[in-house]
Structure 1
Amino acid sequence: MLMKNDKPTGQQHPADGTAVFGPIDIESLARNMGRAVEEGGKALAAYLRPREDGRVKNDFAEEVTDAVNTLGHLAEYWLTDPQRTLEAQTNLATGFMSLWASTLQRMTGEEAKPAAEPDPKDPRFRDPEWSENQYFDLLKQAYLITTRWAEKLVKEADGLEPHLRHKADFYVRQVSAAISPSNFIATNPALIRDTLAENGENLVRGLHMLKEDIDAGGGDLRIRQSDTSKFEVGVNLATTPGKVVYRNATMELLQYTPTTENVLKRPLLICPPWINKFYVLDLTPEKSFIKWCVDQGITVFVISWVNPDEKQRNKGFYEYMKEGPLAALDEIGKITGEKEVSAIGYCVGGTLLSVTLAWMAAKGDTRIGSATLFATQVDFENAGDLKVFADEDHILSIEKKMDEHGYFPGAKMAAAFNMLRSQELIWPYLVNNYVRGKQPTPFDLLYWNADATRMPQKNHSFYLRNCYLENNLTRGKMVVGDETLDLKKVKIPVYELATREDHIAPPNSVFIGAQAFGGPVRYVLSGSGHIAGVVNPPVRKKYQYWLGSDPAGNFEDWFAAATEHAGSWWPDWLTWLRHQAPEEVPASKRAPGGRRKTLGDAPGTYVKE
């Protein structure tokens, strides 16, 4: 008999692979189930209340409708041709017949080859029970057979229009990630063990956290990916010493304090994306690209964009260019006396910098002597999964939503980016936080990722239409201000960094864009993805990078002939940068602001909004 204070003894693994769990405190389990239901009701109320009183509009139905319509077209393709229908049915049936045969073999004690095995890198099925226990092994294999069959249907749907096929592939992957048996208590052995071991206390904690995160999102779920209590901008993030040397309604310009005796004569201007905040390049000191640049003897200026509200509604690419990099160039000239700078643009900040370079080339403005582009697209023909959200219907829907307040909410943009890697950035956190009831560990990069900013209406609409929808920049049809832009007129040296696993700016897309410039381009491919491939300090000795010939032809041929190098690409970039302008001056001439009054300490005020 189990007494009230008996504790679970944990799981055993008998010879037949059957899961056996220790004693359970039935009274505590029942009590916690009741508390979990109560917390679940509070979470549901937190979700429904803002919708009932009109504070939140439920646009989820539009997204579901688009997914259903897209997958309906996929089904129609396979079902309208009897031969294709038979082929699809046969492929699925064959997979399940193999599964049934191997299951019968295991039930009789024979060795059996699995009908489907997960990728060894897939963390969802690493628990031994997924293979040792026949029930969980059957669930796992059935899931893999079904989802791989669905993915194959998309890949072989040659008759579908390319954009529709791309959307179908995206939605199939979203559904596949959502229905994984690893996401649910009844079908995940680790979750069963956790729940029984804690008598359901984990569910109480998890549902309480769910309610808190819905409240934090104002009625929408804001998934916590990091312990936010452990970080504060200006305290243990973005701590490189410097000053705010200029401010307008669109940006603050930061200049950092030199740490070397001499510095490069030509200063460096960094133009980060306005989709997130600049301190991705100034995280903790050991990861900070900005601090590393300062320590290498570079005078660093950085744009810190305002988090826009209704006042920025009518600011487009032209205004962001004039009040961002062009205004920064004016101030850098006044502070340092230099007529040329080097410039870096990251992601959409790199797209803006490229637009600025083309505009300056048309005007005969030569103040930027070299440019570096981090994970930047200027050609959007192969722009990856974000193109799913950039057809005419989606853009019209976004523009309609922006009409209300004059901006696109940062949380919506963050959710879209998370969906690009939902199997890594959504479902593990849903399970860990709200089922296991565990607080996520502190992670500076994910803290920054959640620190999203809004998109001004005119700017965001221009970007979606001119870049993702119409691909006007490399076609020579983008008009900014009074100029039709031509990237071939940009003759300065360009260092083009792509990252191999980038879901936002795929390396092939960056490679094609690199061929659009009119001057010498050094194309470099870094290991890892959109952030980790860029923020990769040499001291960590992580990842690798590839160097090859000048970008021409297709990416696959370039990569096949490229040479792999261990570690960070940062030193290679520094060598390239110094080669462009090697002259140095005493660092005493580069105090932040020069002789002008500064406006406060870095990281400034805009980054904290």
Structure 2
Amino acid sequence: MTTNETLPETDRHKLEANLARVEELTQRLVDAIARRKPINPALHGPEPTLYAKAMQAYWQEWAQNPAKVFENQVGYWGKSLGHFMEAQQALAAGKLAPPEDTGPKDRRFKNPLWDSHPYFNFIKQQYQISSDAIRDAVEDIEDLEPTEKRRLRYFAQQITDMMAPTNFFATNPDALQKAVETEGASLVKGMENLVADLEANNGELIVRLADDKAFTIGENIATAEGAVVWRNRMMELIQYSPTTEKVHETPIVLFPPWINKFYILDLKPENSLIRWIVDQGYTLFVVSWINPDESYRDIGLEDYIEDGYLTALRLAREICGTEKINAVGYCIAGTTLALTLSLLKKRGDKQVNSATFFTALTDFSDQGEFTPFLQNDFIDGIEAEVNATGLLKSFIMARTFSYLRSTDLIYTPAIKSYMMGETPPAFDLLYWNGDGANLPGRMAVQYLRGLCQDNKFSDGTFELMGETLNLRDVDIPLISITAETDHIAAWKDCFRGVQKMGARSKTFVLSESGHIAGIVNPPNKKKYGHYLNPDLTLPADEWQKTADYHEGSWWPVWEAWLRKRSGKKVAARQPGDSSHPVLAPAPGTYVRVKANQ
């Protein structure tokens, strides 16, 4: 009698259907992977020389201080052997239970079986012992340059994160339990999710973080009322509709980063910074950048400044009939706003009344968590990639940022989607995070080489548009908003850049939370507080230590600062005018262009 004949009729049909589905999905999986276009191998990891240097330093340590090396090795062997013997003794005594000490807590191992089941507990504890040994081995290597040590530390952590037992079906109790409970249906659904992600990204495995069917731009996300009043090859300029009868005379032009879409500032009404600014009585213009294709390969920072910044500033002044503008730059757009202000200073142009920087780096002397990716082997790989394709593609940047938080942004979502068969959540922030943008090849290299690697703007040697730009030229009133746990634009690095700016009037705000939540922090949530300290001559740590802590959002602090620099109240302005007609309702057309098109 066959296995199928021993099953009830309904279960047999279900099994046959699942097997047929798996066969179909397997073929689609093979087809999707076959369409993958390989990228430069240098973008996958460091040159072998890093590991060669580490091995050389390790052997040198062995020769000079063998006792220390032996001590570490014997310590690891002893812990592993002791762990094994405890398990063996429990089995020999017929006690199928984990030891009393079930190991340190780790949120990856929150399933109770990691502590209560001897098999899973043994695997967990051995993984933690091995991870500690790798970490200790890296830290004990002394004859290695600090930058190389930092890179080695990062890549060693990537290896241990990748080898976590939660990442494998046979050693993940959540996945095993789900498969049993669903009679294998969760595995079929997980394979469907895997194949769908591969097919959506031309064979590249990019884990989908949010349900992309749950959101439609302009319908339930990015819904603030306004209109596109100008469009060129680089951007659409959106003017938002007033919600007050009177507005401040001086308008605001907000430049979001072109690495992502602008609607992070307009996810939904209750956390929309765009809506909040308009509700405070300001005329607000927001730039929506083009999502470039291969034809933009020769577009550089000068094009973003000329056809983006300078054009948007000019148009806002023309539409509002003012001589001055208050400018805002977020992340890389804040960096480029500083470049623009230096250029205007060189030209004797005083049209910008004040500048606001959101999590904007201008001094790259400390590369922070990006150190592993800002060395020549990686940048050479990126340069080769953009020379071949014309673009730094969105998925390459997304992968780089994700690996800085690989457990949260890669492995945990992959486990839920591919092993557990769960549908990604309908989470607007994660939807936005997955809606990335490409970077023009030339601009990417300018930024990575001239600013990130060589730090020429801070050093006063960055040449652009016929001028030598200098961070000290940023001498208009400014306010910098940073975030305490920001791993992209570390607040201490932002602080150092502000210290070098030439303005007499400088305000620095440190918000709690990170790169996104620290900025998208509406007052009604009463969630994250902020620090203020007028003494910017202090070292960063001392500045925070002596700062005043305030509960709640920094938004009202910024508005009070901005109000003093925004002039008298005038009648509210509707989007556009006779010379700048409405071209499309907000959020416009450029924001809808996907990176993989």
| TM-score, normalization by structure 2 | 0.91
Question: Corresponding residue for 1:57?
Answer: 38
Instruction: Please state whether the residue corresponding to 1:580 is helix, strand or coil.
Output: coil
Indicate conservation of the 8 Å contact 2:240/2:284, yes or no.
yes
Question: Corresponding residue for 1:286?
Answer: 270
Give the aligned residue type for 1:426.
I
Indicate conservation of the 8 Å contact 1:99/1:114, yes or no.
no
Instruction: Name the CA shift for 1:259/1:31 in 2 (closer, same or farther; >3 Å).
Output: closer
Instruction: Name the CA shift for 1:305/1:106 in 2 (closer, same or farther; >3 Å).
Output: same
Give the aligned residue type for 1:532.
A
**Cα offset, 1:344, TM superposition:** 0.9
| Corresponding pairs, count | 581
Question: Corresponding residue for 1:117?
Answer: 104
Deviations for 1:326-346, whole angstroms, at most 9, x for unmatched residues?
Answer: 111111111111111111111
Separation in 1, partners of 2:516, 2:384: 31
Extract structure 1 runs of 4+ deviating beyond 6 A: 104-111
1:273 aligns with 2:257: yes
Aligned residue among 29, 37, 42 for 2:28: 42
Question: Corresponding residue for 1:76?
Answer: 56
Separation in 2, partners of 1:411, 1:530: 19
Instruction: Name the CA shift for 1:102/1:364 in 2 (closer, same or farther; >3 Å).
Output: farther
Indicate conservation of the 8 Å contact 1:522/1:550, yes or no.
no
Instruction: Name the CA shift for 1:149/1:545 in 2 (closer, same or farther; >3 Å).
Output: farther
Instruction: Name the CA shift for 1:360/1:127 in 2 (closer, same or farther; >3 Å).
Output: same
Indicate conservation of the 8 Å contact 1:385/1:420, yes or no.
yes
**Cα offset, 1:34, TM superposition:** 6.8
Q: More displaced, 280-289 or 401-410?
A: 401-410
Deviations for 1:469-501, whole angstroms, at most 9, x for unmatched residues?
Answer: 111111111111111112222222221111122
Instruction: Please state whether the residue corresponding to 1:439 is helix, strand or coil.
Output: coil
1:179 aligns with 2:159: no
Q: More displaced, 489-498 or 420-429?
A: 489-498
Q: Which runs of 5+ in 1 are unaligned?
A: 8-24
Two-structure CA RMSD over aligned residues (Å): 2.5
Separation in 1, partners of 2:485, 2:86: 35
Aligned residue among 439, 446, 449 for 1:455: 439
Aligned residue among 380, 391, 396 for 2:375: 391
Instruction: Name the CA shift for 1:29/1:170 in 2 (closer, same or farther; >3 Å).
Output: farther
Instruction: Please state whether the residue corresponding to 1:86 is helix, strand or coil.
Output: helix
Question: What pairs up with 1:80-91 in 2 under 5 angstroms?
Answer: 80-82=60-62, 83=66, 84-91=68-75
1:555 aligns with 2:535: no
1:603 aligns with 2:587: yes
1:155 aligns with 2:129: no
Indicate conservation of the 8 Å contact 2:83/2:126, yes or no.
yes
**Cα offset, 1:116, TM superposition:** 3.7
Question: What pairs up with 1:319-358 in 2 under 5 angstroms?
Answer: 319-358=303-342
1:505 aligns with 2:486: no
Give the aligned residue type for 1:40.
T
Deviations for 1:7-55, whole angstroms, at most 9, x for unmatched residues?
Answer: 9xxxxxxxxxxxxxxxxx79966874674365234313310x225xxxx
Instruction: Please state whether the residue corresponding to 1:263 is helix, strand or coil.
Output: strand
Instruction: Name the CA shift for 1:555/1:145 in 2 (closer, same or farther; >3 Å).
Output: farther
Separation in 2, partners of 1:536, 1:102: 50
**Cα offset, 1:98, TM superposition:** 5.5
Aligned residue among 120, 139, 147 for 1:136: 120
Separation in 2, partners of 1:286, 1:3: 57
Instruction: Please state whether the residue corresponding to 2:258 is helix, strand or coil.
Output: coil
Instruction: Please state whether the residue corresponding to 2:170 is helix, strand or coil.
Output: helix
Instruction: Name the CA shift for 1:257/1:192 in 2 (closer, same or farther; >3 Å).
Output: same
**Cα offset, 1:100, TM superposition:** 4.6
What percentage of aligned pairs have identical amino acids?
Answer: 36
Question: Corresponding residue for 1:481?
Answer: 465
Question: Corresponding residue for 1:594?
Answer: 577
Aligned residue among 542, 546, 554 for 1:569: 554
Separation in 1, partners of 2:204, 2:45: 19
Separation in 1, partners of 2:367, 2:568: 38
Instruction: Name the CA shift for 1:545/1:33 in 2 (closer, same or farther; >3 Å).
Output: farther
Separation in 1, partners of 2:267, 2:388: 34
Give the aligned residue type for 1:569.
W
**Cα offset, 1:6, TM superposition:** 11
Separation in 2, partners of 1:555, 1:166: 22
Question: Corresponding residue for 1:585?
Answer: 570
Separation in 1, partners of 2:399, 2:19: 31
Separation in 2, partners of 1:87, 1:469: 39
Question: What pairs up with 1:179-198 in 2 under 5 angstroms?
Answer: 179-198=163-182
**Cα offset, 1:387, TM superposition:** 3.1
**Cα offset, 1:539, TM superposition:** 1.4
**Cα offset, 1:595, TM superposition:** 3.7
Indicate conservation of the 8 Å contact 1:98/1:115, yes or no.
no
Instruction: Please state whether the residue corresponding to 1:260 is helix, strand or coil.
Output: coil
Separation in 1, partners of 2:562, 2:119: 59
Instruction: Name the CA shift for 1:495/1:148 in 2 (closer, same or farther; >3 Å).
Output: farther
**Cα offset, 1:574, TM superposition:** 1.1
Indicate conservation of the 8 Å contact 2:363/2:494, yes or no.
yes
Question: Corresponding residue for 1:525?
Answer: 510
Q: More displaced, 540-549 or 271-280?
A: 540-549
Question: Corresponding residue for 1:545?
Answer: 530
Question: Corresponding residue for 2:207?
Answer: 223
Question: Corresponding residue for 1:10?
Answer: none
Separation in 2, partners of 1:176, 1:478: 40
Give the aligned residue type for 1:576.
W
Separation in 1, partners of 2:229, 2:110: 52
